[in-house]
């Protein structure tokens, strides 16, 4: 199966926790030129995640907090799209997927949420796969500008999840499955070298699929600016796609994280999607 799924909901363009509606203002119209160019692109409307699944990862108190936060109105469809995309890629119905969101995930832990994140979409997706298919091994590379602290808290003791986070920290767990590498002071080339360091880790780990938690907040002029451009994002997409092809039959799910500039969101997301679509 060579199909790539795009998971999107119209509410993400109207009201985003991150930018109150402006970041994805060019969508869904921005999909048009890709849909004309590629016949292996399928757009799915993201469905809401179930409370039953949420409560397997988060506490009832967090769920109530999200319900009472008016900025979290898109959280159910945001997480639900990631859950469905992951299941379709894991089962082989899709080769790969790109998931748009209105509310982020990687700062959401078991009991607390912050930083424009409500439900931890990737951890919910992994929980769903394990519920349906049994045990599985998963690798997550997080290139959002900030540390994925909520994800790390939730999977800290899970040796079947590799979490490789490029942020402002340096850390390596004793078992080598939880790794932070600092981008402080890095040039663009040095940053890409940090990304390429994921290959050694993931080859020895041998996951069933790969998640890329992608934030364009690292782009020049965005709020987490570390000097990156769309060119670097395409290089990362090319690398991760090839890596997934070599290690786990091409199974990769890209999840949109942080960023606020509309032009950067449009340019970077479409460029990554196009790389996924290439046969």
Its pTM stands at 0.97
> 239-255: per-residue pLDDT in tens?
999 999 999 999 999 99
Given pLDDT bands bounded at 50, 70 and 90, which one contains residue 14? Answer: confident
Mean pLDDT of 143-167: 98
> 182-203: per-residue pLDDT in tens?
999 999 999 999 999 999 999 9
Residue 236 has pLDDT above 60, yes or no: yes
What is the rounded CA–CA span in Å between residue 175 and residue 21?
Answer: 41
Domain boundaries, the chain: 4-277
Residue 18 has pLDDT above 70, yes or no: no
Token pair, residue 125, equals: 């997706």
Between 3.40.800.20, 2.60.40.1250, 2.40.50.180, 3.20.10.10, what CATH number should domain 4-277 receive? 3.40.800.20
């Amino acid at each position: 199966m060579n199909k790539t799924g795009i998971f999107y909901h119209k509410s993400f363009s109207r009201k985003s926790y991150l930018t109150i509606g402006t970041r994805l203002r060019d969508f869904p119209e921005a999909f048009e030129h890709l849909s004309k160019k590629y016949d292996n692109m399928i757009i799915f409307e993201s469905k809401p995640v179930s409370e039953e699944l949420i409560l397997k990862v988060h506490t009832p108190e967090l769920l109530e907090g999200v319900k009472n936060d008016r900025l979290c109105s898109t959280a159910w469809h945001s997480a639900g799209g990631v859950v469905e995309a992951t299941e379709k890629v894991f089962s082989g119905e899709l080769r790969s997927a790109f998931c748009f969101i209105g509310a982020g995930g990687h700062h959401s832990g078991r009991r607390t949420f912050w930083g424009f994140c409500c439900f931890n979409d990737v951890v919910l997706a992994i929980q769903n796969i394990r519920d349906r298919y049994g045990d599985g091994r998963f690798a997550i590379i997080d290139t959002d500008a900030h540390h994925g602290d909520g994800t790390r808290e939730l999977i800290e003791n899970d040796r079947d999840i590799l979490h490789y986070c490029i942020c402002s920290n340096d850390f390596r767990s004793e078992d080598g499955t939880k790794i932070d590498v600092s981008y402080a002071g890095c040039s663009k080339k040095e940053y890409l070298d940090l990304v390429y360091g994921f290959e050694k880790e993931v080859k020895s780990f041998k996951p069933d699929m790969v998640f890329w938690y992608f934030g364009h907040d690292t782009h020049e002029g965005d709020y987490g600016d570390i000097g990156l451009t769309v060119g670097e994002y395409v290089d990362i997409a090319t690398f991760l796609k090839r890596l997934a092809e070599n290690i786990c039959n091409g199974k990769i799910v890209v999840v949109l994280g942080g960023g606020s500039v509309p032009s950067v969101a449009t340019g970077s997301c479409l460029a990554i999607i196009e790389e996924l679509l290439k046969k």
